Chain A
Amino acid sequence: MTRKPRLGPSALAFGIRYGSLTYLGLVLVFPLLGLVFDTLRTGPAAFFEALFSPAAQSSLTLSFAAALIMVGVNAVMGTATAWVLVRYRLPAKSLLNALIDLPFAVPTLVTGIMLVILFGPSGAVGKALAGRGMEVIYHKPGIVLALLYVTYPFVVRSVQPVLLELDRAEEEAAATLGAGPATTFFRVTLPALWPAILSGSALAFSRALGEYGAVVMVAGNHPGETQTAPLFIMGAIESGEVAQAKAVSTFLLACSLGALLLFKWFERKTEAQDER
C-alpha cells in the first residue's frame, strides 16, 4: 500500500479547493436555497394550500404515476440492454453502445417532436394505433413514452460497468453445481446487479419528475387529466400564480433530492460490494 502524495498547502491547492467549493455553492446551492427560502417566506399555510389545490394535486399524481411506470419498464429493459451489450457478440456493437446515449444528446423538445411525428394522430404508427382505439400522443401513454425515451440511458449506464467487472467464476461455479441459466441469473447475477439497477432507476425517476421539454410536446395539457407537474408550474408562472408555482417546484425539488440521496446510498453499497 502506497501513500498518496500529499499536496502541500500551496496556493494552487488552496485555490482549487475553495475555488471549486465556491463554484458549487454559486451554481448549485444558492439557487436552490433561493427557491426554498422564497417559498418558505410565504408561510406554511399558503404553501400547503397551494400544494393541495386540486389542479396541483392531480398534476403531481400524474407525474409520480408516469415516472413510476417508466422506472418499472426501464429498470427491466435497461438491465436487459446492458446484459446484451456486455455478454453477447454483436455486429456494430460500438455503434449500438454510442446509440444508448442519444437521448442525452438530443434536445428534449426534439424528442417530443419525433414522437409526435411517429405516434401523433396523423403519424404513421399513431394512425394505425388510433384505428384500434389506442390514443398515445396528447394522452397519458404519450407522457410515459416521452419519459421512457429521455431516461433510457440511466439504468443501462449504471448496470453496464458492474456487469463488465462481475467475476464470472461465481456464475460458472453455480453452473457446475447444477444450476440452470435462470437459477444462476436470479440467484447469483441479479443480487450483484441490484444496487446498480436501483441507483440507475433513482436517477431516472428524479429526472422524469421534472421533465418538461419532451412532455410539453406530447401531453394534452388538460388540467386534471394530462397536465404533469412541470406543465402545471409553467402555466402557473405564465399566469402570475407564483405561489402555486413555487410550492409545486419546491415539492418536486424535495422529491428529486430524496431520490438522489437514495441513489447515493445505493452507489455506496455498490462500491462496498466491489471492494469485497
Chain B
Amino acid sequence: MAAALLWQAGCGARRGADRDVLTIGAFSVVREAFHEGIVPEFQAYWKAKTGRELEIRESYNSSGAMVRAIDAGLPADVVVLSHSEDMDALARSQRVRLDWDRSAKGGVVAGSIVVIGVRPGNPRHLKDWGDLARPKVGVLYPDPKTSGGAAWNINAIFGSALLARGTQSAGERELDEARRLVSLVQSNVINMDVSSRQSMANFLDRGLGDAIVTYENEIVLSQKAGHAIEYVVPRSTLRIENPAALVEDMVRKHGNREIAEAFIAFVQSDRGQGILEDFGFRPISGTSHKLPATSAKLFSMHDLGGWRRVKAQLNGYRLKALALAELRGARFR
C-alpha cells in the first residue's frame, strides 16, 4: 500500500511541472526512423518551443499486433500504423476518432513506394511485376494475413495490373487477369514469412530467392546497414501511406492532447519529412530530393477504390497458389 502510494507519487512528480510525457505506439517499419530521428528531434523542438523536457516512451510492434494491444488498453497517446484499414479497426472500437482521416493531410505521416529488391547487378533481369511471375524466379514477401507490409505488396501487384487495363471499366475479366498475376507471383513465393523483416532476413542472410517485394525505405535501410541489395521500381507501383492518429481516451486521461497533436504535425512538417527521407521514406507531398527520381506511374489505394474493395476483390488475401502444372509455361502478358 505504502509502496503503491510512493510509486504514484513518483509518477506524479515525473509528470509534474518540469516534465511532459508522450507515449507512442507504432508499427515496426518506422522504428529506426522514429527512434533515431523523429523522437530526439521532436524532443529538441519541444524544448525550444516550450522550454519543457519531454519524455517520449516508444512501443513498436507489427501493425496488427499494435491494433490489438491498443484495443486491449495499451496506454499509447499517438498510434502510427501500416495502413488505413488497421486504423479503421481502432476507429470502430472508438479508440481513435471515426473521422481520423479528415485531419490534416488525411492523417498520413509517412510515405514510401512498393519496389522489387534484387541481387547486385540484377542477374535475373527483373524489371516489372510480370517478371516475378516467370517460372523459377524465387520471390519473397510475407503472409498478408500476418503482415501489413505484404498487403501493400499484393495490392501493388494487383493494382498495377488492374490500372494497366483501366480501373473505370474493370469488369470480371480484368479482375480475373489481375488476380491471375497475383496468383502467379504468389506461386513463386518461396516462404510466406510472418513479417517483412523476416523476409528481408531470409533474402539477405540466407541468400534465399531472386527478388523481394517490399517498401523502398526497408531496402534503403538495408543498404545503409551495408547489405548488398539493389532495387528496381516497376513501371507502375503503389504509393504507401502510413497513417497516425490520437488515441482519444489516452490523451484525455494523460492530459497531453496538445503534445500529441504537435507530434503528428511535426512528423508531417517539412522538417519531419526531411528526417524520414534520411531513412528512405518519400515525402507525403512533393518529390524527394534524397532518393532517386522515378518515372514510374504511382497510384494510391484511393485510385483502386479503397482497402475494403481491394481486399474483397482479392478474396480476403486467401489466394491459393496455382497448381504447378498450371504454372509451367504460364506467362503473364
B77 beta carbon closer than 8 Å to chain A: no
Q: Which chain A residues numbered 184 to 237 have a C-beta less than 8 Å away from chain B?
A: 216, 219-225, 227, 234-236
A221 to B64, CA, bound (A): 18
State which size class the interface on A falls in: 20 to 34
Judging by beta carbons under 8 Å apart, are A55 and B318 in contact? yes
Across the two chains, which residue of chain B brings its CB closest to A227? Answer: B192
Q: Which residues of B contact A238 (CB under 8 A)?
A: 62, 64-65, 145-147
Q: Which residues of B contact A221 (CB under 8 A)?
A: 143, 191-193
A239 CB contact (under 8 Å) in B193, B207, B317, B321: B317
A71 to B86, CA, bound (A): 41
Q: Which chain A residues numbered 120 to 145 have a C-beta less than 8 Å away from chain B?
A: 120-122, 138
Decide: A222 near B186, CB < 8 A? Known: A238-B146, A239-B145.
yes
Q: Which chain B residues numbered 26 to 74 have a C-beta less than 8 Å away from chain A?
A: 62, 64-65
Kindly provide the distance from the CB of A137 to the nearest chain B CB, expressed in whole angstroms.
8
Q: Which residues of A contact B320 (CB under 8 A)?
A: 222-225
A235 to B186, CA, bound (A): 16
B190 beta carbon closer than 8 Å to chain A: yes
Judging by beta carbons under 8 Å apart, are A222 and B192 in contact? yes
Judging by beta carbons under 8 Å apart, are B146 and A223 in contact? no
Judging by beta carbons under 8 Å apart, are A120 and B206 in contact? yes
Interface flags for B206-227 (1: CB within 8 Å of A; 0: not) read 1110000000000000000000
Judging by beta carbons under 8 Å apart, are A120 and B192 in contact? no
A236 CB contact (under 8 Å) in B65, B145, B186, B206: B145
Q: Which residues of A contact B189 (CB under 8 A)?
A: 220, 222
A122 to B193, CA, bound (A): 17
A222 to B191, CA, bound (A): 7
Q: Which chain B residues numbered 125 to 141 have a C-beta less than 8 Å away from chain A?
A: 138
Q: Which residues of B contact A225 (CB under 8 A)?
A: 320-321
Kindly provide the distance from the CB of B54 to the nearest chain A CB, expressed in whole angstroms.
33
Judging by beta carbons under 8 Å apart, are A121 and B208 in contact? yes
Most chain A beta-carbon neighbours within 10 Å: one of B191, B207, B208, B321: B191
Q: Which chain A residues numbered 87 to 128 have a C-beta less than 8 Å away from chain B?
A: 116, 120-122
Q: Which residues of A contact B91 (CB under 8 A)?
A: none
B194 beta carbon closer than 8 Å to chain A: yes
Decide: A235 near B191, CB < 8 A? Known: A122-B207, A223-B320.
no
B163 beta carbon closer than 8 Å to chain A: no
Total cross-chain contacts (CB, 8 A): 59
Kindly provide the distance from the CB of B143 to the nearest chain A CB, expressed in whole angstroms.
6
A240 CB contact (under 8 Å) in B89, B193, B319: B89
Kindly provide the distance from the CB of A67 to the nearest chain B CB, expressed in whole angstroms.
21
Kindly provide the distance from the CB of A254 to the nearest chain B CB, expressed in whole angstroms.
24
Kindly provide the distance from the CB of B66 to the nearest chain A CB, expressed in whole angstroms.
11
A28 to B177, CA, bound (A): 50
Across the two chains, which residue of chain A brings its CB closest to B63? Answer: A238
A116 to B62, CA, bound (A): 24
Kindly provide the distance from the CB of A154 to the nearest chain B CB, expressed in whole angstroms.
27
A239 to B190, CA, bound (A): 21
Kindly provide the distance from the CB of B326 to the nearest chain A CB, expressed in whole angstroms.
13
Kindly provide the distance from the CB of A224 to the nearest chain B CB, expressed in whole angstroms.
4
Kindly provide the distance from the CB of A270 to the nearest chain B CB, expressed in whole angstroms.
41
Judging by beta carbons under 8 Å apart, are A224 and B321 in contact? yes
Judging by beta carbons under 8 Å apart, are A121 and B318 in contact? no
A238 to B61, CA, bound (A): 12
B206 CB contact (under 8 Å) in A122, A216, A239: A122
Q: Which residues of A contact B65 (CB under 8 A)?
A: 238
Kindly provide the distance from the CB of A139 to the nearest chain B CB, expressed in whole angstroms.
10
Most chain A beta-carbon neighbours within 10 Å: one of B143, B189, B316: B143
Q: Which residues of A contact B186 (CB under 8 A)?
A: 222
A234 to B193, CA, bound (A): 12
Q: Which residues of B contact A116 (CB under 8 A)?
A: 206
Q: Which residues of A contact B143 (CB under 8 A)?
A: 221, 235
Across the two chains, which residue of chain B brings its CB closest to A232? Answer: B145
A222 to B187, CA, bound (A): 8
Decide: A138 near B190, CB < 8 A? Known: A122-B207, A239-B64.
yes
Q: Which chain A residues numbered 230 to 257 have a C-beta less than 8 Å away from chain B?
A: 234-236, 238-241
Judging by beta carbons under 8 Å apart, are B208 and A235 in contact? no
Known: A121-B208, A220-B192, A239-B64. 20 other contacts (CB 8 A): A55-B318, A116-B206, A120-B206, A120-B208, A121-B138, A121-B190, A138-B190, A216-B194, A221-B191, A223-B320, A223-B321, A224-B321, A225-B321, A234-B146, A234-B194, A238-B62, A238-B64, A238-B65, A239-B144, A240-B89
Q: What are 25 A-B residue pairs whose CB atoms fall within 8 Å in the complex? A: A122-B206, A122-B207, A122-B208, A138-B191, A221-B191, A221-B192, A222-B321, A223-B318, A223-B319, A223-B320, A224-B320, A224-B321, A225-B320, A225-B321, A234-B145, A234-B194, A235-B143, A236-B145, A238-B64, A238-B146, A238-B147, A239-B64, A239-B146, A239-B316, A240-B64
Sort A-B residue pairs by CB-CB distance and give the 9 closest, nearest first. A235-B145, A221-B192, A238-B146, A224-B320, A122-B207, A239-B145, A138-B191, A238-B64, A222-B321
